[in-house]
Chains A and B, each alone.
Chain A
Amino acid sequence: MKEQEATIVAPAPRPLLSRTTREMLANYAYLLPAAICLGGTVLFPILKTINMSLYHNVLFRPQDYRFIGLGNYARMVQDQTFWLTLRNSFAWVLWSVSFQFVCGLAAALLLNASFKGRVILRTINLLPWIVPGVVVGLVWEYLYQPNYGPINDLLRRAALMREPAAWLSEINFAMPAVIITNIWRGIPFFTIMILAGLQAIPIEVYEAATVDGASITQRFWHVTLPILRPIIVVATATRIIWTFNYADLIFVMTNGGPADATQITSTYTLLVAYATLDFGYAAALSVILLVIMLVFTALYLKFTKGVESVAG
């Protein structure tokens, strides 16, 4: 047997960075592509918009392009149409989302029960959500049409109306009319979200509550709603933000009219940007919309305790 030679292994050179640091850097490297994408598509446009809002920037007057600081924001304070659209926006969001939520919750509770034809009903319930917003707007515009629309026709046949009502052209009816359309369109969103939550509630929880003598109402208030709370909070916050920024229904149905009765801040921003080409002022309006939504979301999540679990 050959005698083994003793070898001395040279110690590996000490790495430049510690293992923890290397792992951390690797993790950041994995995140980098997503961060670049988000930065390029979200952060950069926001910063660019903020920058644009500080300039007098009317596209067809390039010779007047200049830095005006908070000039566009000062103009906004004086702009009566802006304040009107802001009030309209709050009414639009408040009535739309609250009715969407209540009707969506009711529909979810109904569709969570076992009955024949449930699958078909669940599918039908999705229809308003599947149809594109522009098509929804056109269909409802036809329904509301004063001269040949089915709504007026039914009301007249039922002797509930003498003269045809111009639902979208009367200053008092226009906003409720577009809100009703938006409610119809948004109900399925809440139904799906809440239904998913309902189906995740273990049956044992209800059994335990029943054993403890809880009535149906008590089970709803003390079992169902608290467990659904995180879903409701997220769904409502999401929907409020969408609705606040949602412009296509109003654009198609009334184009903000009559006399700005249905003009919300997001449609007004589009009008300023693309009709008058005042990109500086439109950017300032967009920044204010962003700030309103950020403040709202922060407050909403704080007061509703966000998405913390019930146990937490």
Chain B
Amino acid sequence: MKDRGRFSRRQFVRTLAASGAIAASSLVGQKVPFLSPRKASAASTVLFQYNSPDAPRIPLVQSFVDEFNKSQSEYEVKIDWVPQAQSRQKILASIVAGNPPDVTMVWDQNLPEFEGMGALEDLTSQVKGWKHYAATNPIAWQTVTVKGKIVSFCLGYTNDGVFIRTDRVKEYGLKMPNFDWTWDDFLTLAKGFTRPEKNQYGFGMRGAGQWAFTYATEVMYGNGAQVLKDGKVVINSKEAIEAFEWYIDLLRKHKVTPPSAPTDAYRQIVMGFGRGVTSMVTHSSGSIEEQKNSVGEANFTTLPWPIGPAKKRASFYQCETLTMFKAAKNKEGAWKFMTFMMEDEPHFQYCAKTGMLPTREALLKRPPFTGQWYSGFIKSIPFTIVSPYLSYVGWGSILEAVGAPLIQAAMVGKITPKECLDRWAENLTRNMT
């Protein structure tokens, strides 16, 4: 009784042998050899924080990482998928804690903040010696240059253009504008599209989120306005106010936007166009694939922003970067992975699948970038500039916290466009550090 629950030495050896036999039999027929070189123990880890893990992007990025890990044996990239909404805080917290990832994908608008914390690795000399340096569009280096230092690679970029429902142009007998259309052409078309009784509106204006003020600023540039001039904030100039009044009038006077415009954010404007509520919308090439599915490939095209009264127009360049931190633990591995991602094929595939534009002209000549849906964005490249809201640390972050409520106040008529821009200029000036 006493020894009932105990193993004798002989029983233990028998059990061990039996277990071994069972395990060995289960391996019969395995295609992969049970014993193979153990790569993980030899390779040093590169921690890669990826900040926009939408369903289509996860397998794409994972496939690049798998390919990189297979292509060499020195480094093994491990991905930390972080939802976009939490990515900025997570990086900032990790910088403060002195433990950032080795490399991260992050929007260029956050770079000044990280540089403000002294957290970014200066890649200037390495980048200038990189084989694709000269072939890369100079603006791609401009946007990732902070205080004279190149701190990132531009993994893919977007600028803004106007999506237009070509099927409705035909249906309503409207004149399809060309690339050099003007504000008047825009307004005429928007009015022609507007059918409130059918819940159809000409233009999907954005009133929420940080891009609400960004789009409005692009319009102001069409009238010769600027955010900064000679180191001073001039976004409340006469030209800016006139342009902003024209823009706000689209909602308040001409009523060519959905009445929900003041609270419409990214999802509402993109879905509004996709569902046929609006027939024109401003957005980046990032939503082309979604619109192909929603509206149909043959039913829409894109154009650049229309030319303003000052015979000018601007589109703001924003990019997803690959950025390395000063406190990265594996800088060599991070650099190797970054340059791998910027090779022709991964760079092209990443951009083609996410709707962004590659930074080398040769890649722009390959489909899908030659399709009609990209035409508005490609044609915008000559007047695409780095967003002026990247000029100062913190300007990017107040676009949402201060800019959105201000533009909404103008959209609902609580304040005039002039008051809105005066207050906006005051806020930007206060945050010039």
- The answer, yes or no, to whether A256 is at the interface (CB within 8 Å) is yes
Is the pair A169, B401 in contact by a Cβ cutoff of 8 Å? Answer: no
Is the pair A148, B199 in contact by a Cβ cutoff of 8 Å? Answer: yes
Is the pair B196, A163 in contact by a Cβ cutoff of 8 Å? Answer: yes
- The answer, yes or no, to whether A297 is at the interface (CB within 8 Å) is no
- In the assembled complex, how far is the CB of residue A86 from the closest CB belonging to chain B, in whole angstroms? 16
Residue from A166, A254, A256, A272 within 8 A of B259 (CB atoms): A166
Is the pair B92, A59 in contact by a Cβ cutoff of 8 Å? Answer: yes
Known pairs A170-B412, A258-B411, A259-B412; A271 contacts B259 (CB<8 A):
no
The proximity string for B residues 394-424 relative to A, scoring 1 for CB distances below 8 Å and 0 otherwise, is 1001101100111011011010000000000
- The answer, yes or no, to whether A277 is at the interface (CB within 8 Å) is yes
The proximity string for B residues 266-290 relative to A, scoring 1 for CB distances below 8 Å and 0 otherwise, is 0000001001010000000000000
Is the pair A168, B397 in contact by a Cβ cutoff of 8 Å? Answer: no
- The answer, yes or no, to whether A51 is at the interface (CB within 8 Å) is no
- In the assembled complex, how far is the CB of residue B197 from the closest CB belonging to chain A, in whole angstroms? 10
Is the pair B405, A272 in contact by a Cβ cutoff of 8 Å? Answer: no
Is the pair A171, B405 in contact by a Cβ cutoff of 8 Å? Answer: no
- The answer, yes or no, to whether B192 is at the interface (CB within 8 Å) is no
Is the pair A259, B397 in contact by a Cβ cutoff of 8 Å? Answer: no
Known pairs A60-B116, A147-B277; A164 contacts B409 (CB<8 A):
no
Is the pair B259, A169 in contact by a Cβ cutoff of 8 Å? Answer: yes
Residue from A61, A163, A257, A276 within 8 A of B405 (CB atoms): A257
Is the pair B408, A276 in contact by a Cβ cutoff of 8 Å? Answer: no
- In the assembled complex, how far is the CB of residue A138 from the closest CB belonging to chain B, in whole angstroms? 11
The proximity string for B residues 194-224 relative to A, scoring 1 for CB distances below 8 Å and 0 otherwise, is 0010010100000111000000000000000
Chain A residue at minimal CB-CB distance from B198: A147
Q: CA of A166 to CA of B412 in the docked complex: distance in angstroms?
A: 11
Is the pair B397, A276 in contact by a Cβ cutoff of 8 Å? Answer: yes
- In the assembled complex, how far is the CB of residue A161 from the closest CB belonging to chain B, in whole angstroms? 12
Chain A residue at minimal CB-CB distance from B259: A166
Size of the chain A interface, CB-CB below 8 angstroms = 35
Give chain A's interface secondary structure class: loop
Residue from A58, A258, A277 within 8 A of B408 (CB atoms): A258
Is the pair A147, B208 in contact by a Cβ cutoff of 8 Å? Answer: no
- In the assembled complex, how far is the CB of residue A148 from the closest CB belonging to chain B, in whole angstroms? 6
- The answer, yes or no, to whether B263 is at the interface (CB within 8 Å) is yes
Contacts of A61 in B (CB 8 A): 116-117, 393-394, 433
- In the assembled complex, how far is the CB of residue A217 from the closest CB belonging to chain B, in whole angstroms? 45
Is the pair B208, A257 in contact by a Cβ cutoff of 8 Å? Answer: yes
Contacts of B409 in A (CB 8 A): 258-260
- In the assembled complex, how far is the CB of residue B260 from the closest CB belonging to chain A, in whole angstroms? 5
Contacts of B114 in A (CB 8 A): 60
Is the pair B92, A60 in contact by a Cβ cutoff of 8 Å? Answer: yes
- The answer, yes or no, to whether B89 is at the interface (CB within 8 Å) is yes
Contacts of B411 in A (CB 8 A): 258-259
The A289-311 residues at the B interface (CB cut-off 8 A) are none
Is the pair B401, A254 in contact by a Cβ cutoff of 8 Å? Answer: no
Contacts of B398 in A (CB 8 A): 275-276
Is the pair B408, A146 in contact by a Cβ cutoff of 8 Å? Answer: no
Contacts of B393 in A (CB 8 A): 60-61
Is the pair B207, A258 in contact by a Cβ cutoff of 8 Å? Answer: yes
The proximity string for B residues 44-80 relative to A, scoring 1 for CB distances below 8 Å and 0 otherwise, is 0000000000000000000000000000000000000
- The answer, yes or no, to whether A220 is at the interface (CB within 8 Å) is no
Is the pair A169, B405 in contact by a Cβ cutoff of 8 Å? Answer: no
Is the pair B117, A259 in contact by a Cβ cutoff of 8 Å? Answer: no
Residue from B263, B275, B401 within 8 A of A258 (CB atoms): B263
- The answer, yes or no, to whether A202 is at the interface (CB within 8 Å) is no
Q: CA of A163 to CA of B118 in the docked complex: distance in angstroms?
A: 54
Contacts of A258 in B (CB 8 A): 207, 262-263, 408-409, 411-412
Q: CA of A207 to CA of B264 in the docked complex: distance in angstroms?
A: 59
- In the assembled complex, how far is the CB of residue A190 from the closest CB belonging to chain B, in whole angstroms? 30
Is the pair A255, B258 in contact by a Cβ cutoff of 8 Å? Answer: no
Chain A residue at minimal CB-CB distance from B255: A163
- In the assembled complex, how far is the CB of residue B303 from the closest CB belonging to chain A, in whole angstroms? 24
Q: CA of A60 to CA of B393 in the docked complex: distance in angstroms?
A: 8
Is the pair B92, A276 in contact by a Cβ cutoff of 8 Å? Answer: no
- The answer, yes or no, to whether A223 is at the interface (CB within 8 Å) is no
Is the pair A277, B199 in contact by a Cβ cutoff of 8 Å? Answer: no
Is the pair A257, B196 in contact by a Cβ cutoff of 8 Å? Answer: no
- The answer, yes or no, to whether B127 is at the interface (CB within 8 Å) is no
Known pairs A147-B277, A259-B412; A276 contacts B258 (CB<8 A):
no
- The answer, yes or no, to whether A125 is at the interface (CB within 8 Å) is no
Known pairs A60-B116, A148-B199, A276-B394; A171 contacts B414 (CB<8 A):
yes
Is the pair A168, B259 in contact by a Cβ cutoff of 8 Å? Answer: no
Task: Sample 20 A-B pairs with CB under 8 A, ordered by A number.
Answer: A60-B113, A60-B114, A61-B116, A61-B117, A62-B117, A147-B199, A147-B201, A166-B259, A168-B260, A169-B260, A169-B263, A174-B263, A257-B208, A257-B405, A257-B408, A258-B207, A258-B411, A259-B411, A259-B414, A260-B408
> Interface on B for A, CB 8 Å cutoff?
88-89, 92-93, 96, 113-114, 116-118, 196, 199, 201, 207-209, 258-265, 272, 275, 277, 393-394, 397-398, 400-401, 404-406, 408-409, 411-412, 414, 433
Q: List 20 additional A-B contacts (Cβ < 8 Å) besides A60-B393, A258-B207.
A: A61-B117, A62-B96, A146-B258, A166-B259, A169-B207, A255-B209, A255-B404, A257-B405, A258-B262, A258-B412, A259-B409, A259-B411, A259-B412, A259-B414, A260-B405, A260-B408, A263-B405, A271-B400, A274-B89, A277-B113
